[in-house]
A and B are shown apart, each in its own frame.
Chain A
Amino acid sequence: MSVKLTTRQVGDVSVVDVAGRITLGEGSSALRDAVRDLLAKDHKKILLNLGDVTYIDSSGIGELVSAFTTVTNGGGQLKLLGLTKRVQDLLQITKLYTVFDVHESEAHAVRSFS
């Protein structure tokens, strides 16, 4: 399996459960398409649940950044939920950990959207 994305609504927040690998090719493009689809439906509060992401490469990191800037520039908010230690480490060494709003609890993350 490369990546599996499932989108669900919690109130007015779109939660995207991401499982598998976010890597160059299918994984990155699937994430890009999911975020674009949400924005096209005017869903601007997006929570990416990365709890089941097993692997992410530089292309996947780039896709997270791209999603963040696209949503932010469109007047929305994109936040991250449930980072594994490896993904957290990657975001820290690339200095992106402080760029994203990262949460451990879904309920807390959903409430944090303004």
Chain B
Amino acid sequence: MGANWGGESVTTQHVFPSTLESVDQAEQTVLDAARQAGFPEDDLHGIAMAVRECVINAVTHGNRYDSEKTVRVSVTRTAEDLTVRIADQGEGFDPEALPDPLAEENLLRSSGRGVFLVRAFMDEYTVRRIEPSGTEVTIVKRRDMQA
């Protein structure tokens, strides 16, 4: 783990093995950063769940539990927002191609709600391919400036 200070931005980087234990660890790491950044309790719950879902996807669908592959998580907090990047070394996916979990025919499916929940709890969700192989998901939670 390392910390980069630049202006009012603080970034920490973390590398996790492709295991289910990493899901809890990554969630707790980001939760700690968000708490230090002063996000309210309801936001913390949403951020934690969003990170959890993204890391689950990275470990299970991206890296497929491959012990040779890692999940890299970076957390950047500024005065305006919290940005979390989760990168795996898998083959990638198209979030637009995922089935709509709210569609009548999908409502009783036992899976397929992870990305939907991430989008519900975060202000931004983007996915990009990284070279030579992998996917990086970026999620952003903005501070409520009215609070």
In the complex the two chains form, is A65's CB within 8 Å of B110's CB? yes
Name the B residues within 8 Å of A108 (CB-CB): none
Q: Does A9 touch B at the CB level, under 8 Å?
A: no
Partner of A93, one of B52, B107, B109, B120: B120
In the complex the two chains form, is B49's CB within 8 Å of A24's CB? no
Q: How large is the interface on A (under 10, 10 to 19, 20 to 34, 35 or more residues)?
A: 20 to 34
In the complex the two chains form, is A25's CB within 8 Å of B113's CB? no
Q: How large is the interface on B (under 10, 10 to 19, 20 to 34, 35 or more residues)?
A: 10 to 19
What string of 1s and 0s marks CB contacts (under 8 Å) between A70-105 and chain B?
000000000000000010001001111001000000
Task: List residues of A (24-49) whose CB comes within 8 Å of B's CBs.
Answer: 24-25
Name the B residues within 8 Å of A65 (CB-CB): 108-110
Q: Considering the chains assembled together, what is the distance between the CA atoms of A99 and B49 in angstroms?
A: 23
Q: Does A14 touch B at the CB level, under 8 Å?
A: no
Distance (whole angstroms) from the CB of B51 to the closest CB of chain A: 11
Q: Does B56 touch A at the CB level, under 8 Å?
A: yes
Q: Considering the chains assembled together, what is the distance between the CA atoms of A95 and B108 in angstroms?
A: 10
Partner of A24, one of B20, B113, B116: B20
Partner of A25, one of B20, B49, B53, B117: B20
In the complex the two chains form, is B110's CB within 8 Å of A63's CB? yes
Distance (whole angstroms) from the CB of B108 to the closest CB of chain A: 6
In the complex the two chains form, is A58's CB within 8 Å of B114's CB? yes
Q: Does A3 touch B at the CB level, under 8 Å?
A: no
Q: A24-B23, A95-B102 are contacts. A59–B56 as well, Cβ < 8 Å?
A: yes
Q: Which residue of A lies closest to B20 (CB)?
A: A25
Name the B residues within 8 Å of A68 (CB-CB): 108
Q: Does B111 touch A at the CB level, under 8 Å?
A: yes
What string of 1s and 0s marks CB contacts (under 8 Å) between B91-112 and chain A?
0000000000110000111110
Q: Does A61 touch B at the CB level, under 8 Å?
A: yes
Known: A57-B52, A93-B120. 12 other contacts (CB 8 A): A25-B20, A55-B49, A57-B56, A57-B117, A58-B111, A58-B114, A63-B110, A65-B108, A69-B108, A93-B117, A94-B101, A95-B107
List the interface of chain B (C-beta within 8 A of A).
Answer: 20, 23, 45, 49, 52-53, 56, 101-102, 107-111, 113-114, 116-117, 120
